[in-house]
């Protein structure tokens, strides 16, 4: 059973009966839904990205067997970090010494920490840009970096570290794709349920949301859209979304309390949407 946020009076959170549509992948979607429901929200799940591990290849096996030759190990997501550790365990009964671990955000770093590692992560933010600002990733001439990620994704980390002199090896561990939903289910989620808040925590999720909700503009573009960073907020603005929120953190409790705070502000503005992102 999920415990509501300890630092907040549950009765004060303006989420009783509010309609929340969560488009995160599983299992994160169900976990977040539990927290929203624990404070009275009416929640629907419609994950718009599905992930599956990639089959092992000789190239991937060779990289993992030479793990001790690397200096920096970066994972771009909690899912990437978990898959990476699972695979390392097959080849390394004891973790090689001298490796510096990195998580793009707190959730990714927490996966490493649970295995007794001491990862570095941005103190502010949870983006590739924030990770790249870390002092230990500035001067990397000839240092070997292993980047654990999905089959496709942003190239910013790889390109930037290469420019700083690093020798980058990309380790694709999983692929992402948009799941199929029958038209009647899509109609039920948008037309009948009519979400007031939509959680879409990646650019890929946002693109899939726009595509799958193409026939439901009235609902889609008037909901409060929760996105992970200002870069994705700009993408959403360009697509026509008018009410946007970049939360104070991506942990479940942070998402719930950020949404609640925004709804309180909108209620204080007599129902008029306030400025988007972190105003």
Task: Label residues 165-203 b or e (16+ Cβ within 10 Å = b).
Answer: ebebbebbbbebebeeeeeeebeebbeebebbbbbbbbb
Q: Do 92 and 189 belong to one domain?
A: no
State the total domains in the chain: 2
Round to whole Å and give the CA distance between 174 and 235: 25
Q: Do 136 and 66 belong to one domain?
A: yes
Per-residue pLDDT reduced to its tens digit, 8-36: 444 456 798 999 999 999 999 999 999 99
**Cα atoms in the Cβ-side hemisphere of radius 13 Å centred on 236:** 33
Contact 165, 140 (CB under 8 A): yes
Structural domain contains residue 275: no
Q: Model's pTM, two decimal places?
A: 0.82
Identify the pLDDT of residue 276.
Answer: 42
Range of the domain at 136: 52-176
217's enclosing H/E stretch is helix 217-220
Task: Label residues 115-141 b or e (16+ Cβ within 10 Å = b).
Answer: eebebbbbeebbbbebbbeeeebeebe
Q: Do 45 and 132 belong to one domain?
A: no
Contact 197, 226 (CB under 8 A): yes
Alpha helices in 49-155 (DSSP H): 58-65, 78-91, 106-113, 128-132
Identify the pLDDT of residue 3.
Answer: 42
Structural domain contains residue 276: no
Task: Tell me which residues of the chain have a pLDDT lower than 50.
Answer: 1-11, 271-279
Provide the CATH number for the domain around residue 71.
Answer: 3.40.50.10090
Structural domain contains residue 278: no
Q: Do 67 and 34 belong to one domain?
A: no
Which of 261, 194, 183, 250 minimizes the C-alpha distance to 222? 194
Structural domain contains residue 76: yes
Identify the pLDDT of residue 4.
Answer: 43
Per-residue pLDDT reduced to its tens digit, 86-108: 999 888 888 888 899 999 888 88
Q: Do 42 and 70 belong to one domain?
A: no
Q: Do 144 and 190 belong to one domain?
A: no
């Amino acid at each position: 059973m999920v415990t509501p946020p300890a630092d907040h009076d549950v009765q004060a959170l303006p989420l009783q009966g509010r309609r929340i549509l969560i488009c995160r992948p599983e299992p994160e979607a169900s976990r977040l839904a539990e927290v929203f429901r624990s404070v009275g929200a009416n929640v629907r799940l419609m994950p718009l990205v599905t992930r599956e591990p990639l089959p092992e290849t000789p190239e991937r096996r060779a990289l993992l067997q030479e793990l001790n030759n690397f200096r920096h190990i970066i994972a771009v997501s909690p899912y990437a970090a978990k898959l990476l550790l699972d695979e390392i365990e097959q080849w390394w009964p004891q973790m090689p010494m001298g490796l510096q671990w990195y998580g793009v955000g707190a959730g990714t770093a927490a996966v490493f920490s649970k295995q007794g590692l001491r990862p570095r992560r941005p103190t502010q933010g949870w983006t590739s840009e924030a990770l790249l600002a870390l002092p230990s990733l500035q001067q990397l001439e000839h240092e070997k970096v292993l980047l654990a990620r999905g089959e496709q994704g942003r190239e910013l980390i790889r390109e930037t570290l290469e420019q700083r002199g690093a020798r980058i090896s990309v380790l694709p561990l999983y692929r992402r794709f948009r799941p199929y939903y029958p038209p009647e289910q899509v109609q039920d989620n948008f037309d009948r349920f009519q979400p007031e808040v939509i959680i879409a925590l990646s650019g890929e999720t946002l693109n899939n949301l726009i595509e799958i909700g193409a026939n439901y503009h009235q609902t889609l573009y008037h909901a409060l859209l929760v996105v992970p960073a200002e870069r994705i907020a700009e993408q959403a603005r360009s697509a026509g979304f008018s009410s946007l929120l970049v939360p104070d953190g991506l942990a479940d409790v942070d998402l719930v309390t950020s949404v609640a705070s925004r709804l309180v502000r909108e209620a204080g503005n007599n129902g008029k949407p306030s400025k988007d992102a972190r105003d």
